[in-house]
Chain A
Amino acid sequence: QQQVKQSPQSLIVQKGGIPIINCAYENTAFDYFPWYQQFPGKGPALLIAIRPDVSEKKEGRFTISFNKSAKQFSLHIMDSQPGDSATYFCAASRQGGSEKLVFGKGTKLTVNP
């Protein structure tokens, strides 16, 4: 049973576009929702994270939108650049983010020049 469903599997946008990646979860006990960026042959790096007490969080060009009632959250990348081309994973964990992370399947983003 996949606890965090991520879509789309792949995404291609032009430079300057705003790719949106979506995730949905079932377990209402989840209370920490991070997004990770992974380049080929490297480990993931934390981009941005949100807790359910807020509906939106912005850090630089990255924004998380969170809909608690729908149990969904999404990542928006403003003014995307070719250097943003990577695989993005959403994740979730319980107990204030102290339990193990459950990852989505990932989205491969390609930003064309």
Chain B
Amino acid sequence: GAVVSQHPSWVICKSGTSVKIECRSLDFQATTMFWYRQFPKQSLMLMATSNEGSKATYEQGVEKDKFLINHASLTLSTLTVTSAHPEDSSFYICSARVTGATNEKLFFGSGTQLSVL
């Protein structure tokens, strides 16, 4: 089946530093990728929709200058948490959709646990 690789799987950083999370579709092209945030025992909250070659679309309440998204190729999207603070600690998950397909061909990465000290 289709594989979405998310890296790193966990990261610990100091407050004020920036952290980059990568999301790669390994065996398919993905024009559209999605970034979610998930708190313990809670649902997935969509942060932004990333489209290759264009600016990401952020959900209401998500700071675009804090959560920088770059989708420079059809197989790679990155999320950079800038000037991270303890309240940014969370589980971040990406998903990638096969180009031209519906959400039936949407696949999730394994997530990144971010801990900001």
Contact = CB atoms under 8 A, between A and B. Distances in A.
Contact of A46 (B41, B44, B93, B106): B106
Given A103-B44, A105-B42, A108-B41, A41 B111 contact: yes
Contact of B106 (A41, A101, A106, A108): A101
* Interface class of chain B by DSSP: strand
A34 B107 CA distance: 12
B78 interface: no
Interface residues of B, number: 22
B111 A97 contact: no
Size range of the chain A interface in the assembly: 20 to 34
Contacts of B68: none
A42 interface: yes
Interface of A: 32, 34, 36, 41-46, 49, 89, 93, 96-98, 100-101, 103-106, 108
